[in-house]
Structure 1
Amino acid sequence: MTDKATAAGELTDIGNKRYFGEGLLRWYRKERRDLPWRRSRNPYHIWVSEIMLQQTRVDTVIPYFNRFVGRFPTLRHLAEAPEDDVLKHWEGLGYYSRARNLQAAAREVVEHYGGEVPRGKAEVSGLKGVGPYTTGAILSIAYDQPEPAVDGNVMRVLSRYFCLEDDIARPATRVAMESLAQSLIPEGQAADFNQALMELGAMVCTPKSPSCPVCPVGEHCEGRLQGRERELPVKTKAKKARPVFRLAALIEGTGAYAGKVLVRQRPETGLLAQMWELPHIEAPDEEIWNRLDEGAGLLEAALAEDGVRVKASNEVVGEAQHIFTHLVWKIKVLGAAALEERYVADRTGYRWIGPEEFENYAWPNVFRKLLTEYFLLVRRG
């Protein structure tokens, strides 16, 4: 290629990037959604919103965000709160490690930075649970620093606009996308530009049905011009979540514990750490999970190891599932009666609760749903 051709290509590239940035910003300033975390440049609010928005839709996040920052209005309030209180205010959003990491990072900020979110990339990215995307979002939106914030929406937009065929599931592709996104940021407009890019992916350049006719930068979109907007981005499929078969016990109290159910708290680490649940076990396989007489015996034996003696029936009183990223709990709930109720009530990790105490505990969605339905039936009965 001649020097003149190279120069012409560079000018075309520069012009395309300028068109992209200017068109995107004009559209965003006119069409952007009014979201509570966009009403200020508070880095704490931006941080909380970005963590909540991972794996969760905007409409779902809004009431959780308002309630969370209402209860923990500053990083210091969050850092000093009991973990149970934080989990309770996160309840329903799932992926509870996000809440734990957020609180741990808040404590780091209080300890090392006087309660103020730092402005340095190394300092922000070093906080617990803060990856490249969240780092870029905080620094660009709160402090207007020209850092890229590349999530799935952004990679989809860039893949289509520049007709990129690299697999976005590969870490190397994400790194390349971050470099490209950074090169597109108009000087002094990082906050609006990054939010505009995310907004375009969420509202117009959607995964399955992109709204190309109303796209503010569609005229020069290479993916659209080549008729490939529905093929892009290229992404290898994630492995299918592995099913895990579990048997839970709905242990109803009598006498002094009438109207109550025996529940337990999960361990301090691991999945759903420190949340409350119906006692349950993992069945060895699906076949035994379906043989309820045998399953009831396994459930009794497992709980006896905790010192909790119950008589489990082979009657299924509820079914549910809990979906994690890599596995799915398939749960059958068996009716059960406790023996030695007074002794059980005093055991660490187990507790009798009724409808009046229910809201004082943090529950995974699956057990919240099961117990809510149970207490409603009890009241009706």
Structure 2
Amino acid sequence: MSDKKTIAFFPEAAFGPALNSVGIAQACEKLGHKAVFLTDPGMGGVYSGYGFEEHLVNMSEPMPPEEMAKYWVDFINGHIPNFNKTPYEQIDNYVKDCWDAIVETSIWAEKDLPSVLDKVKPDVVCVDNVILFPAIKRYCRENGKAWVRVISCSENEITDPDIPPHLSGCGENDKECFEKFDTKFKGTVKPAHEKFNAFLAECGEEPYELGEFFEASPFLNLLLYPEPAKFKRRNPLDPKQFQYLEGCVRDEKPYDIPTFEKNNDKPILYVSFGSLGSGDTDLLKRIIDTLGTMDVRALVNVGDYKDQYGALPGNVQIDSWFPQPSVIKQMDAVIHHGGNNSFNECLYFGVPAIVMPYVWDGHDNATRVQETGHGLYMHRANWTADQLKANIQTLLTDPAMKTKLAATSAHMQGQNGPAKAAKLLDALAKDA
């Protein structure tokens, strides 16, 4: 291909943004381009596992991979007591600590990122993160290239007066909740924001208003949210600059449903709280115990904690990892934490979900699933076995929910988000 271009992806060091970017990168390569990944060493091997070239960018003080993995496991597990709190109550702890750490990632990346960009020489750089990396703007400005912001989390990362603040979990019409959360959030992150603005000044960039850590790209912004779940904005986004991908589901290896000791003719569920949420083994054990009393089967993602589970009910099987898109498409219902991949994959395949959020945009996505009739929002801890059983039965039998999900699935699959993203990036790359 004579006009083959290099498209670089720089996702946040978390599996949600990472695997969404993999889906787009796969579609770019189908168009004949070269997709490469810039990644924190802690995510090293994730992208090469899908066949992509990786270039390491330290986003924190360098340490051996096993120490880095332990650091983030300890960070998340140390916050498990905060997971039961409301989004507003989490601002002083989890949210504050995250923004402190996120600001540090941008500062650290400035050490390695310029030389990596000069080495890779991308024609387009796609950033799926919640914070600006000045080196990317500078590289693109100096070389006549384009940078793209990818919003894989809830679409309210791009703010509007009529939609809930990012991370708030507010209902779409609860303006009192909007104001209360936004005021508390800005006051709490102010020290981190001031530190970040000082860093931007050192890099020759303009400061951001309080509460903002990133800007919309002047070239292109890609949002994952599908039309049936979108918010109604007071200020509609210009499609020349903002494009909704209607989800973005990656290609994954096939998965064969295993044989269970019992209930092989019964509905099947998938339970996953993501790579980080799997550390809450007490919650997963409660769910497993409840499912063990039902006429269903269940696959449960327990992450790196498989050795902490003893004897299981005959209708439940666990594993450390599942090729999630290939699993969800075969499920009758899903229980998840509201992460962007789980949220979009359930909608894409028309599978009803119970969302038990614990942090970040899981709160926003859980509220949106309930508001739009695509599933149910449950508190992650304040439930009884009978309540969980009743909600699972609702997912399996509610005709209105099934009709809604079927229409949403048909819409999303007709749009093909990764292919749409690849065509938009192809046009930008060819103009570079």
**Greater Rg by CA:** 1
- TM-score class, shorter-chain normalisation, is under 0.3
Larger RCO (alpha carbons 8 Å, 6+ apart): 2
Q: What's the TM-score once normalised by structure 1's chain length?
A: 0.23
